[in-house]
Structure 1
Amino acid sequence: MRKEENTEKDELYGKLQVHFIENVEAEESSEEKESDSGNLSDETARKSVSAEKENRAKKPVQKDIEEASAKSKGKKSEPQSDSSKTDSEDDVKEQKGSRKRRHSKVDKQEAEAVEESFYKVTGEAEEHKSHPVRNAILGLLVLILVASAVVSYPIGKEYFQEKSVAGKDIEITIEKGSTSRDVSAILKKKGIIRYEAAFLLKLYFSDYKGKLRYGTFDLNNGMSLGKVIKELATQDGQKENKFTIPEGYTIEMTASKLEKEGIMSAQEFLTAVTNAAATSKYKDVLPKKKKVFYQLQGYIYPDTYYLAKDITGDQLVAKMLDEFDKKFDQTRQEKAKKLGMTVEEVLIRASLLQKETELPEEYPIIAGVIQNRLDKKMKLQFDSTAVYAITKGQYGIARVMYKDLKVDSPYNTYKHKGLPVGPICSPSLEAIDGVLNPQKNDYLYFQMDTVKNDGSNIFSKTYEEHKAASATTEAAAETTTTAAKQKTTKK
């Protein structure tokens, strides 16, 4: 029975699409007719347009209506009287109006009737079992759908639009127990959709019928109906607390932020992170627990999360690790393998890129520098690794002193050759991609350009070039400091 119902739905969908296309063609043809009939009398033009629309749109529709009614009642269809083919004077005047006005003004009673019919046929958000009565009225649905597409052009247009366009982000809330009709009303009120009938019809023929969720959702008024329905059926709508992990944050910084925003204690989160390492899918490549602050440093993906008020530390960590898995997808895993890197090594390098430059366009360049220095058995000597070790993941040091570089830690690349023992922050996806797509270059050194003062770096191939660049940047920094002092004194 279910198979027959699905087949019937496919046939209905096909008929709807065919008649919608025919209607559009008829509209375009009538426009051309109106344009070409400029030298004819008004009466001749009216007859020409009326005849064209009758032949191209109304007859196929009438035929399907008869077949649908006959199928529903078990009777043969009977021909319509000739009087039904005659347009009234009001219809003729309406046909002479602009196409824009015809398409934008949909009869309110007709739309309400269509929506009411959809509501009765498709039911609520939950899935219904096949029923003889329901199967019987599917035949009548042909009448409703075809009439809606042909008579109400804008409804059909919204229904068949497949591509989303740029629009405004809008947050909506669907209450628990809401019906599909309730959802369509909310979407229309918020400006996400134009016609409830189009939404209900799209939902009925989609794979998500009966799967709409309740909660709060992020939508956009430029989304196609298909995209809107998919978001309502797959998004996690249980949004209570909005929490954002900035790119470059560490586990320690994230824990402090969670506590500060009242979501959970820092200790609960840190304990959950520690426990999750033992069951992580990456446990075989993680550094030894005794060597690092946190084994999952770098895996807590920086993003915005919507959290239930009663979420636990374990649930939150699982959610963040799941987000990381989605981002570090199969394509990135394969790239890492080709480069001979484990996920852990990619994250270590990406965390260095994240902390050593403010410009994403420099990520591939610095990735190349890292590889060049490793190939030559040179120490990386990155300030960020020493700062991470000193502050135990909290950072916050405005200026690195010479003594800071001497800290004895497996993270400190001034003390030890090779990469640090683990990631020093949670890198962005751009930093990860910078590692997976390194630039081949001859640079061995880089330092911040204090002359430009835009977050960019000066890259050098030799130590002599690096020293010359250092002298320039130091002089510029000294000039800036002097100017600032003079300005303060004048005040």
Structure 2
Amino acid sequence: MRKFGCLIFGIFALAAVLIGGNFVYGWTAAGPSERDVTVVIPKGASLTKAAKQLEEADLLKSADAFLFRAKILGGGTSIKPGEYLIPAGASNRDILNIIQGGKVRQRLVTITEGMPSIMVYERLMAIEELSGDIDVPAEGSVMPESYSFQKGESRAKVLGRMQDAMTKAIDELWAKRSPNTVVKTPQEAIILAAIVEKETQIAAERPIVAGVYSNRLRQNMMLQADPTIIYPITKGKPLGRRILKSEIQSVNDYNTYAMIGLPKGPIANPSKASIEAVLNPAKTNALYFVADGKGGHIFADTLAEHNANVEKWYAIRKQRGEM
């Protein structure tokens, strides 16, 4: 009888081990999905609702089994809303760790330095994962940078972060401005910085270009910046051809070949570096610059020097077959 009792106990013990082992195995074993799957856990979703969503996405064999195991083995941390990338074969434990950890999938939209607002608008509107409409943002109100966003997020919210970043940057830089800066307001700084941004892509040249334009403003000389001619024509998009003589002579609020002083507003969204260059311009006597044929510019203090540099640039262009 005693042996029989031991046998029964042994059978129950073995069954318990098997059941327990299966319980744990079902928690740690590879899941049914054979591919990576993106899921969006909505704000306010319970673990029960999330489990059903995961089952419908074929990431779980059983939502009920997942919930049962999660309550015993998963701890008490709440799940976090967001878009998650669940890798192929993720176990129940892996999935719970992902949605509890809040490490959401990173999606980025990049606003390049000097991008005009019409192109910022087009870029945001082209992202299918964003929702809602926006207007074209005010020129110069967006800080060029890469911004993360989540699937389903509103375009207005993403644009708001871009504009907040510009406001923060200009406030910080304005407080540290040099007494040598020629601009009188943060808005004037953005206007001039946008011109500097469009005139050179070389970081080391920005303070010098800013210095040239500062000198011209102080001497009541026309800025004569080609990008300001293009802006009223294309709203800052590439012109795709040479500027016409009639366009150079056109009188409007932006053409700095037909006016003294700054244009009406920014012609692009300038980078932090260009704003900083305008607020801390290089000390230079230069009043002119022209392309050097190597991607940069050559600067001159006098018109005679500048004209000689222009002739060299024309010779380079003729040699390249551009004239």
Q: What TM-score do the two structures reach when normalised by structure 1?
A: 0.43
Among candidates 242, 252, 258, match of residue 415 of structure 1:
258
Q: One-letter code of the match for 1:464?
A: A
| Distance in 2 separating the partners of 1:211 and 1:374 | 60
Among candidates 433, 439, 450, match of residue 282 of structure 2:
439
Q: One-letter code of the match for 1:255?
A: Y
Among candidates 260, 264, 267, match of residue 126 of structure 2:
260
Among candidates 299, 302, 305, match of residue 459 of structure 1:
299
User: How many Å apart are 1:317 and its aligned residue?
Assistant: 2.4
Distance 1:308 1:407, change over 3 A: farther
1:93-242 paired onto structure 2 within 5 Å: 239=105, 241-242=107-108
Q: Does 1:269 align with 2:112?
A: no
Q: Which runs of 5+ in 2 are unaligned?
A: 1-38, 48-76, 85-101
Question: What secondary structure sits across from 1:242 in the alignment?
Answer: strand
Question: What secondary structure sits across from 2:217 in the alignment?
Answer: helix
1:389-400 paired onto structure 2 within 5 Å: 389-400=232-243
Q: One-letter code of the match for 1:446?
A: F
Question: What secondary structure sits across from 1:268 in the alignment?
Answer: coil
Q: Is the 8 A contact 2:254 2:264 kept in 1?
A: yes
| Higher radius of gyration, 1 or 2 | 1
User: How many Å apart are 1:308 and its aligned residue?
Assistant: 2.6
User: How many Å apart are 1:399 and its aligned residue?
Assistant: 2.6
Q: Is the 8 A contact 2:174 2:279 kept in 1?
A: no
Q: One-letter code of the match for 2:265?
A: G
Q: One-letter code of the match for 1:307?
A: F
Q: One-letter code of the match for 2:146?
A: T
Distance 1:263 1:458, change over 3 A: farther
Aligned-residue RMSD, C-alpha:
3.2
Q: Is the 8 A contact 1:446 1:459 kept in 2?
A: yes
Q: One-letter code of the match for 2:314?
A: E
- In structure 1, the residue matched to 2:56 is none
User: How many Å apart are 1:313 and its aligned residue?
Assistant: 3.6
| Distance in 2 separating the partners of 1:263 and 1:421 | 35
Q: Is the 8 A contact 1:368 1:440 kept in 2?
A: yes
Among candidates 116, 121, 127, match of residue 250 of structure 1:
116
- In structure 1, the residue matched to 2:74 is none
Q: Does 1:471 align with 2:311?
A: yes
Distance 1:320 1:461, change over 3 A: same
Q: One-letter code of the match for 1:333?
A: W
User: How many Å apart are 1:329 and its aligned residue?
Assistant: 4.5
Q: Deviations over 1:110-130 (max 9, x none)?
A: xxxxxxxxxxxxxxxxxxxxx
Distance 1:215 1:443, change over 3 A: same
Q: Is the 8 A contact 1:336 1:343 kept in 2?
A: no
Q: One-letter code of the match for 1:300?
A: V
Q: What TM-score do the two structures reach when normalised by structure 2?
A: 0.64
Q: Is the 8 A contact 1:351 1:425 kept in 2?
A: yes
| Distance in 1 separating the partners of 2:46 and 2:103 | 14
Distance 1:211 1:352, change over 3 A: farther
| Distance in 2 separating the partners of 1:212 and 1:377 | 63
Q: One-letter code of the match for 1:341?
A: K
User: How many Å apart are 1:238 and its aligned residue?
Assistant: 5.4
Aligned length: 234
| Distance in 2 separating the partners of 1:468 and 1:414 | 21
Q: Is the 8 A contact 1:238 1:306 kept in 2?
A: no
- In structure 1, the residue matched to 2:170 is 328
Q: Is the 8 A contact 1:238 1:307 kept in 2?
A: no
Q: Does 1:298 align with 2:140?
A: yes
Q: Is the 8 A contact 1:444 1:461 kept in 2?
A: yes
| Distance in 2 separating the partners of 1:437 and 1:262 | 40
Q: Is the 8 A contact 1:336 1:346 kept in 2?
A: no
Q: Is the 8 A contact 2:116 2:235 kept in 1?
A: no
| Distance in 2 separating the partners of 1:238 and 1:396 | 40
Distance 1:347 1:364, change over 3 A: same
User: How many Å apart are 1:438 and its aligned residue?
Assistant: 0.4
- In structure 2, the residue matched to 1:428 is 271
Q: One-letter code of the match for 2:176?
A: K
Q: One-letter code of the match for 1:411?
A: Y
| Distance in 1 separating the partners of 2:176 and 2:153 | 35
Q: Is the 8 A contact 2:124 2:155 kept in 1?
A: no
